[in-house]
Amino acid sequence: GENVEQHPSTLSVQEGDSAVIKCTYSDSASNYFPWYKQELGKRPQLIIDIRSNVGEKKDQRIAVTLNKTAKHFSLHITETQPEDSAVYFCAASSGNTPLVFGKGTRLSVIA
Amino acid sequence: DAGVIQSPRHEVTEMGQEVTLRCKPISGHNSLFWYRQTMMRGLELLIYFNNNVPIDDSGMPEDRFSAKMPNASFSTLKIQPSEPRDSAVYFCASSPQTGLYGYTFGSGTRLTVV
């Protein structure tokens, strides 16, 4: 089955700097890659997703890139703000199988 | 839409007691998922349903765990008997389809077994 590895497990950045979180997956049939943000004590919430027919997707300060050959995808947050502090999860699915989540990255944005 | 609704939000119970967690998915979503979240193991898929039918329960840790979905608008996860190691946050999520769309998570049930 699918296996998703996520790095780093913790990340601290200064406010205004960029943050990058990387994930790798094992199943070459995976074609859907969402990212979730979970604030302390809250539910995971979808922030951006990408499908295998696209190499990059942007939404304001966040972007996701996908390299299907290398089987890895990344989340990029630019101009980080304190409210970006949260745990971020990547996930992967082949479409007819459930999402498999990475272990999460705890991002701290230091003001 | 009110989103995915879970109850209770918090549950504290004694070891050996039966615990029932409840979930109402988003109307029109065909897939429902139960996840368990702990610091050590992250988000683990316990079981999922498509069109009210259980598809894969290989993530259910033991026979003490069972889940049902009697209709499209309701699902339960039951632990009987509960043990301290079951303490975790249990999330229900729903989606239009199994893996083609993002999931909407409920607020979760924080279970503490003492």
Residues of chain A found within 8 Å of residue B105, distances taken between Cβ atoms: 43-45
Closest alpha carbon to A103 in A8, A12, A39: A8
Per DSSP bridges, beta strands B42-50 and B31-38 are antiparallel
Closest alpha carbon to A9 in A25, A28, A23: A23
Q: Which whole number is the average pLDDT over B66-93? A: 97
Torsion of CA B10, B39, A2, A93, to 10 degrees: 50
What is the residue-averaged pLDDT of chain A?
A: 95
Q: Which whole number is the average pLDDT over B84-98? A: 94
| B58: region left, alpha or beta (phi > 0 left; psi from -120 to 50 alpha) | alpha
Q: What is the pLDDT of residue B10?
A: 97
Using the predicted structure, report yes or no on whether residue A96 has a pLDDT greater than 90: no
Using the predicted structure, report yes or no on whether residue A3 has a pLDDT greater than 90: yes
Task: For B37-57, write each residue's pLDDT tens digit.
Answer: 998 889 999 999 999 999 999
Q: What is the pLDDT of residue A48?
A: 97
Check A96 against B91: CB less than 8 A apart.
Answer: no
Q: Which whole number is the average pLDDT over B92-114? A: 92
* Per-residue confidence band for A33, with pLDDT thresholds at 50, 70 and 90: very high
Closest alpha carbon to A64 in A111, A109, A22, A3: A22
Using the predicted structure, report yes or no on whether residue A19 has a pLDDT greater than 80: yes
By three-state DSSP, how is residue B60 classified? coil
Q: Are A11 and A21 spatial neighbours (Cβ–Cβ below 8 Å)?
A: yes
Question: What's the half-sphere exposure (Cβ side, CA atoms, 13 Å) at A34?
Answer: 20
Residues of chain B found within 8 Å of residue A34, distances taken between Cβ atoms: 102-103
Instruction: Looking at chain A, list the stretches that DSSP marks H as alpha helix, in order from N- to C-terminal side.
Output: none
What are the tokens at B44?
């683990």
Q: For chain A, give the percent of residues with pLDDT over 90.
A: 91
* Per-residue confidence band for B101, with pLDDT thresholds at 50, 70 and 90: confident
Q: What is the pLDDT of residue B58?
A: 92
Q: Which whole number is the average pLDDT over B102-112? A: 96
Q: Are B91 and B34 spatial neighbours (Cβ–Cβ below 8 Å)?
A: yes
Check A98 against B108: CB less than 8 A apart.
Answer: no
Neighbours of B100 (CB within 10 A): 15
* Per-residue confidence band for B98, with pLDDT thresholds at 50, 70 and 90: confident
Check A89 against B108: CB less than 8 A apart.
Answer: no
Q: Are B107 and B9 spatial neighbours (Cβ–Cβ below 8 Å)?
A: yes
* Per-residue confidence band for B1, with pLDDT thresholds at 50, 70 and 90: low
* Per-residue confidence band for A52, with pLDDT thresholds at 50, 70 and 90: confident
Residues with Cβ < 8 Å from B49, sequence gap 6 or more?
B31, B32, B33, B55, B67, B69, B75
Shortest Cα distance from A33 to chain B (angstroms)?
A: 9
